[in-house]
Structure 1
């Protein structure tokens, strides 16, 4: 499936292809967060409901939980790309997809929102 094939959704893949995230639609907006973790990961986050994302993985992902352990950050166990974060509580329906795994043409159409979660004052 081509990553811009709107009929079947959009795909985001890690570098080696072991993890594929199938999205129901391209993101209209992505978030550039500058918190201590996201700035190190270098991610842009696209947010979806659980029903809008299918996660396909040839192997288990490695996870890391931070700041109260409410969400798990996932990365490909083979190539190391951060792929997504997933909430631990079943009652939470939102998850984040690393939009940098999308094809550039798909990502270029999204508006970038800046979130000053690091409290740096860089984003106004």
Structure 2
């Protein structure tokens, strides 16, 4: 079944800013990611978040993260989907570079 999203997130941290990603968040049991080619994985810092990128085109498709509450999150890069899929979904802005809080635009 398709899952309707209330929002997708634009983050300005050093990684997300460079990727230009819009993140749709799920738990690991809500998604099944299938890839046609190899993926590269990038980790840094505390290594709790793994960014997955296509080795063919270089695009970052998603990241996985072990959260502080013990849950496993999967963030899908909505920019990899057709624009009409997310055109009516609200974009929230997250200040990952400074306050680590959602901000009103």
TM-score (norm 1): 0.71
In the alignment, which of 84, 96, 99 is matched to residue 105 of structure 1?
Answer: 84
Distance 1:88 1:62, change over 3 A: farther
Distance 1:56 1:44 in 2: 19
Task: Assess if the C-alpha contact under 8 Å between 1:46 and 1:99 holds in 2.
Answer: yes
**Alignment RMSD, CA only?**
1.9
**3-state SS in 1 of match to 2:32:** strand
Moved more, 57-66 or 31-40: 57-66
**3-state SS in 1 of match to 2:51:** strand
Task: Assess if the C-alpha contact under 8 Å between 2:51 and 2:60 holds in 1.
Answer: yes
Moved more, 52-61 or 80-89: 80-89
Partner of 2:73: 94
Shift of 1:48: 0.4
Aligned length: 99
Distance 1:98 1:63, change over 3 A: same
Shift of 1:119: 1.7
Structure 2: runs of 5 or more not aligned: none
Structure 1: runs of 5 or more not aligned: 1-7, 10-24
Moved over 4 A (4+): none
Task: Assess if the C-alpha contact under 8 Å between 2:66 and 2:73 holds in 1.
Answer: no
TM-score (norm 2): 0.83
In the alignment, which of 87, 92, 98 is matched to residue 119 of structure 1?
Answer: 98
